[in-house]
Amino acid sequence: MTRAAIFDVDGTLVDTNHLHVVCWWEAFRQAGHEVATHDIHRAVGLPSEDLIAHLLGEDRDKDEDEELSATHTALYATYFERLAPVAGAADLLRALDGRGWRVVLATSAGGAELGALRKAIDADDVIAGVASADDVESGKPAPDPVHQALELVDGDAGSSVFVGDTVWDMKAAARAGVRPVGVLAGGIPRADLEESGATAVYDDPAALLAALDDSPVAELEQRG
């Protein structure tokens, strides 16, 4: 039985959510759309196409989607060399690896963006794999990325955790039968994470690390 510790990246391990909000806001502005930053923030964590649909509606001009996504990507790329980890990110991943967990990232990022994120986390020595939403039929909140992460390490869903910062993360984990654990580092309220399935919520990875022996991680370990 393999225990997988699956992690969302943006807003969970790397402090990027508000950068994404600003970049999406500017992309929408350049295309002539007024979208409130609050609404964008709540949509961060969805794959680009789903985020655009969520914010502009299904009756939008879908021909704009590719340009909107490309503009966001170009704007966000200007921050790659300055991305910062969330407090305790690398220490938590290494602690879990030391306890026998297989650490997997679940993200829609790829290419240079994924490279920048992994550089910011600085824990490649304990990351067993990366499950990308680009490689599955549906991204979060569908369970597909979580299933892919489990498959990468032959993980057992009932013995695994998914740590994330958005309601989409919690829903994806719950639908995959993996224990959802929330962090507040991405700016989503505790109540929203709990309502979406989080079995425990911590301020950030450092707080989860400090409470590891009283967390869902320890509970699953005790089951044997």
**Range 2-19 average pLDDT:** 98
- How does pLDDT run across 166-183, given as a tens digit for each residue? 999 999 999 999 999 999
**The pLDDT value given to residue 110:** 86
* 224, pLDDT greater than 80: no
Statement to judge: residues 110 and 160 lie in one domain: yes
The band of 136, judged by pLDDT with boundaries at 50, 70 and 90, is: confident
Statement to judge: residues 41 and 135 lie in one domain: no
**The pLDDT value given to residue 138:** 87
**Range 72-90 average pLDDT:** 98
Statement to judge: residues 116 and 44 lie in one domain: no
**Range 88-92 average pLDDT:** 98
Decide which of 28, 44, 78 is a domain's last residue. 78
Statement to judge: residues 144 and 213 lie in one domain: yes
Q: What is the CATH number of the domain that holds 206?
A: 3.40.50.1000
Statement to judge: residues 121 and 153 lie in one domain: yes
Cα(163)–Cα(209) distance, integer angstroms: 12
Statement to judge: residues 43 and 98 lie in one domain: no
- How does pLDDT run across 34-55, given as a tens digit for each residue? 999 999 999 999 999 999 999 9
Report the domain count for the chain: 2
Statement to judge: residues 97 and 44 lie in one domain: no
Of the chain, the percentage scoring pLDDT greater than 70 comes to 99
- Cis check for the bond before 141: say yes or no (omega within 30 of 0): yes
* 70, pLDDT greater than 80: yes
**The pLDDT value given to residue 222:** 94
Statement to judge: residues 32 and 98 lie in one domain: no
What range defines the domain where residue 55 resides?
17-78
Average per-residue pLDDT for the chain: 96
Statement to judge: residues 168 and 145 lie in one domain: yes
Statement to judge: residues 57 and 128 lie in one domain: no
Q: What is the CATH number of the domain that holds 51?
A: 1.10.150
Statement to judge: residues 152 and 66 lie in one domain: no
Task: Please calculate the CA angle 115-216-121 and round it to the nearest 5 degrees.
Answer: 15
Decide which of 78, 96, 131 is a domain's last residue. 78
Cα(66)–Cα(194) distance, integer angstroms: 34
* 159, pLDDT greater than 90: yes
Cα(91)–Cα(108) distance, integer angstroms: 23
* 94, pLDDT greater than 80: yes
Statement to judge: residues 146 and 61 lie in one domain: no
**The pLDDT value given to residue 43:** 97
